[in-house]
Amino acid sequence: MEVRILGGGREVGRTAILLKEREGSILLDYGVSFDERDVPQLPLHVRPVDVNALVISHAHLDHVGAAPYLFITGNPKTITTKPTLDVARLLTIDFLRLNAHYIDYELREFDRMYSSAEFLNYGEKAEVGAFEIQSFNAGHIMGSSLTYVETPSGEHVLYTGDFNAVQTWTLSSVDTPPLKPTTIIVESTYGARNHPPRHLVEKRLLEVVEDTVDRGGVVLIPAFSVGRTQEVMTILYAQAPYLDIYVDGLSRDVTELYVKYRKFLRDPGLFLKVVENVNFITDFAMRKKILKKPCVVIASAGMLKGGPSLYYLKQIQGNSRNAIVLVSYQAVNSNGHKILESGVLREQGIEEPIKARLTWLDLSSHSGSDDIVKFVLHYKSSVRNVIIVHGNPEDADELSRKLKEQLGEDVNVLAPPSGGTVQL
């Protein structure tokens, strides 16, 4: 079997991995990334006619954003979970609204992909020719999957996608099903570092929120619309139900899908209570009104690149009673990263010092380095190859070093670049 890294090799984003055998090919994800100017970057080309099936691990654009290209001239079978494609459709609509001048597909191509899909629940299998594909919980966002592919040549490939080994309020931790993978393709987003204990991060979040509200301030929590918003909502309601919590942006629509597919959540009953007790912003007048009293506002975009979170930032940043709590990854070119570094909001040549309390908390939905190693070691008895993807060079290399040390010389550990090929 040949493994082609079409994207996501020694980089984070545009993940695309082609498993190629004589009998056919399986494509694992087909995502986009964004350069320093926020221009979408595509994975390497693959002819749609050469793809027997597309497997989508989860709804984030860095794993699915380029997939509709395959449906301009082709129609491969799509294997995924139903919440993944429903959430991805929302994100794709938003993506096309902002990037239509860079992207050659339209929403109709996404809908063709949707029509081609075979939806799996966790533990279920699909057959594509001589390939057998099975899905398991990855713990990253709702509907995210580990993918297990049994190939005609006898290779058993376990692809992690993005996964989280830590149980959260909304999701169970990653499954470790009793499989015998010969090859593991594993993410390395945090291959070089671990996260602080989750309960301590949550405790700090509550301290900042309660202190700010007690002083009569507004807390802005910019958060990714998928996963992070729903997690923060649940953390705050479960531990401080008396807080006045508002949710704004694309997060509203995503939360409706979390309710619809709540069987994929760890505690569906709790999440329903959360949704019943938080307030969803419905118009601009409501946005202005809520800022006149102490409250918590959870809004997209998580990196403050746009959306209602940027509006709220401009409204509250000049008052030291208020707080801005960043709980999402902040890319180098994002407003979130810039204000963390400088304490200044720069827009259109104007600099505004941030007087509000500014905090960043590590509420990641990716596994830390030690947990990635532990996951791979769970399959030490069968694995012969480990292919490291979805990580910057320093993360991929450090994870490679750790795995080689733990697995020994009998296991081939590789971190190929995008464009690289591994022969198994």
pLDDT tens digits, residue range 307-318? 999 999 999 999
The pLDDT score that the predictor gives to residue 196 is: 97
Pairing label, strands 295-299, 24-28: unpaired
Tens-digit pLDDT profile for residues 320-353? 999 999 998 888 888 999 999 999 988 777 888 9
214 and 175 co-located in one domain: no
171 and 23 co-located in one domain: yes
pTM over 0.85: yes
Q: What does the DSSP 8-state code read for residue 341? A: H
The pLDDT score that the predictor gives to residue 348 is: 73
24 and 149 co-located in one domain: yes
Residue 260: pLDDT above 90? yes
Residue 424: pLDDT above 80? yes
234 and 302 co-located in one domain: yes
Asked which of 313, 333, 360 is the last residue of a domain, the reply is 360
Asked which of 360, 378, 408 is the last residue of a domain, the reply is 360
The pLDDT score that the predictor gives to residue 276 is: 98
307 and 415 co-located in one domain: no
Q: Are 50 and 27 in contact (CB under 8 A)?
A: no
184 and 227 co-located in one domain: no
Asked which of 360, 379, 396 is the last residue of a domain, the reply is 360
The pLDDT score that the predictor gives to residue 48 is: 97
Residue % of the chain over a pLDDT of 90: 95
398 and 354 co-located in one domain: no
Q: How many domains does the chain have?
A: 2
181 and 258 co-located in one domain: no
What is the span of the domain harbouring residue 418? 2-193+365-423
Q: Give the strands of the sheet with 357-360, arranged side by side.
A: 279-280, 245-248, 295-299, 218-222, 323-326, 357-360
269 and 323 co-located in one domain: yes
384 and 355 co-located in one domain: no
318 and 267 co-located in one domain: yes
289 and 273 co-located in one domain: yes
C-alpha distances (whole Å) from 394 to each of 62, 189, 369, 400 are: 20, 10, 12, 10
